[in-house]
Structure 1
Amino acid sequence: MQRIVVLGGGESGCGAAVLARKKGFDVFLSDMGVIAAKYKKMLRQWDIPYEEGLHTPEKILDADRVVKSPGIPDKAPMVRALRERGVPVVSEIEFAAPYVSGRTICITGSNGKTTTTTLIYEILRRAGRKVALTGNIGLSFALAVAEGGYDWYVVEMSSFQLDGCFDFRADVAVLMNITPDHLDRYEYKLQNYVDSKFRIVRNQRPEDRFIYCADDPLTAENLPSRTLGMRTLPFTVAGAAGCAASLDGGTLRAEVDGRRVEIGLDELKIKGMHNACNAMAASLAALCAGVEPETVREALRAFSGVEHRLERCGTVDGVEYINDSKATNVDSVWYALESMTRPVVWIAGGTDKGNDYARLYPLAEKKVRTLVCMGVDNAKLLEAFAGRVPQIVDTHSIEEAMAAARRSARPGDAVLLSPACASFDLFKNYEERGREFKEWVLTLARSV
């Protein structure tokens, strides 16, 4: 019996462990941290042995194959030891791929992938498809495959997940854009990150589809060597020629195999040019899946966005509070600031990922009244925006940051949490950061 070791006891790792158990493998799971109670319960239900707080070499290095959770870097000592022994180390998505009975729509990109993934899922669900929302959001891909019974798997894929994919193939691949992100994981070399994102088209066949943004410079520069015969469906908001989806004035159009979706931007609840891109990519993917145009239009009209992405949390004393905690890179913040119509008190900071803030300077100078830095070490932010915004406040907790934002904001302003950084210095993840922001706003609203 082949021995499978899973590194990481979160959603991804536990999903892989359950699938391995269902397929009859000898399974062991190891996590250097503390495994959450709900995942321990899952492991016990499936009689999967595990350890937490350490990696025991004797229990890991004899594996036939290792499934590594995406948060564990390749430079981790145990991963290096496994590769030195020649033990294959793959992602959960790669491990699950041979057991998929349905078809896959896989979405990646530096920005917009969660909104686009969720929107595709909602369109297919509205169309009556048996569809799973998986990958970087929703269920782990492996757990959804273990459950079975799905016709379609809509999979959000991070670069870290793609790095561990070798034979996996997407029936429909979607690449939203590529902008500098996670460079700390890629030796601070942009091309390494670009190469990771383009793994989304690895192994695609002529009958498969590749949806991408024709306006994105890094995608365009790297495209010629990557299109290996699959059908390409580009989209554009800038008017690039020959695209399957485009923006004509205030009307969004997308067409696949003679079936066309047309909808006015004013009919969408999600606003901004970045959301027009998200809607075009989702429309093309849904049309590829055979969804009727009218169903696509209905879902587009109904969709109101995802949690932690430009999420309106309420207005207190004339100040609007907006949770954009998912904006963990510079380009996500650019889209957020670009969409602001009020003077902004901007809360930013966290674990820097090799950010270059220069792209934000014009918008910050035009729109930001106060920058509230929230992190353990805010030196880079303080230096970058000194003299560019009227006021900068240095804080080191959510409580300090929210109190500073409250003092700075005036009626008619917006307090925008859009960090441009990872959350791991003060929070477990961006979700916890966003939830604490929303709880603070709710408490403030109750107190006035």
Structure 2
Amino acid sequence: MPLTRPASREHDRQILRLAVPAFGALVAEPLFLLTDTVIVGRLPGPALGALGVASTVLSAVVGLCVFLAYGTTASVARQIGAGDTRRALRQGVDGLWLAAGTGLLIIAVVWPLAPWLVHLLGAEGELARLALTYLRISLLGVPSMLLVLAGTGVLRGMQDTVTPLLVSVGSFALNAVLNALFVLVLGWGIAGSAWGTVLAQSLAAAVYLAMLFGRHRAPFRPDLAGIRSAGSAGVALVVRTVCLQAVLAVATALATRMGEAQIDAHTVASRIWTLLAFALDAIAIAGQAITGRTLGAGDVAGTRAATWRMVVWGVGSGVVLLLVVVVLRPFTPALFDASPEATRELLAVLWVVAALQPIAGVVFVLDGVLIGAGDQRYLAWAGVLTTLAYLPAAVLVAASGGGLVALWLALGVWMAARLVTLGARAYGTRWLVTGA
């Protein structure tokens, strides 16, 4: 939809008001892992590779629960758009209770399976032992991580992205200090890195609970019907997330089997990709909040116009990040104290990481818009289709003995498939459902 200049400026103001604080909050999340990577990289032996293996398992498990943030943002924003703040808070509290219960369930299920999961990703010997240590300690912080997801979703749905920014910055700073203390000063090794992150995430969860039940006076009592409804609505988003995590897990497993230099380089490249993805996702967060609010208010034209404007922002942001990666590429391996072999691998892979950024900018924006619209069922089916597009490329890399660059080019096939499926849906009208 073409926009007049005043309308464009108004949409830009709305996007920036939500996206700029969301950018800071989202970047703080992968900075947790980047901080761990920099500090653990100073440890001897396969500690860095162990961090990569354990973080892949942890990210996959916690990533399945991203619906706690995304689904809550969309549902709360719709109620805000419809003018029902009380119902918005009620739905937010249902998400918090669901987060707490899900976190405890994850600990009970994943703890005994942890050794098998680590070996599934190809880790053996000392690498497996260190990965298991990091993973099991980190599991203790999963309930807090999920409460942070749900609390963030509530505030974003209420069009508040500043508070999540402040909480994220504070918890990142605490995480960095604790990790440096536990690992470098007290000599706790990789276990110290895990304990630092657990404590930082737990404090962040406590802050969110204090904000929602204190400042916003949200009702504390759980509503079992509401919790079941929130869980049911999140099933499709879980399917979508399973597909995303399956792609990343397959990539890590293949990189692990290529050798120590390859898994080290892949771990660093994955951290950088995650950092860039979260940066681009800031506009997607704005898309979730704006789309939910405008559709809740019945404004289809405003939804279309805001979507188009956010796509423009996504492309521009992707180009900027492409240039940033290219400029910083020669200096990146030294930051992570990479070996000469890992440095060669990483320098080659970063060209692919850079080239994918403009595509990622559009993909993440459209993903956020459709989540905000509550179009979870389509996103689930699209996730299955794009995973099926990726797997043959990954199998070809493994069968032909392709290297790390070939593996990342296979991830480029996956991103292109996501661009096609999301773009086709956004062009249509079936996702434009209005009302509370």
Q: TM-score by structure 2 length?
A: 0.30
* Structure with higher strand content: 1
Q: Which has the higher contact order (CA 8 A, sep 6+)?
A: 2
Larger Rg: 1
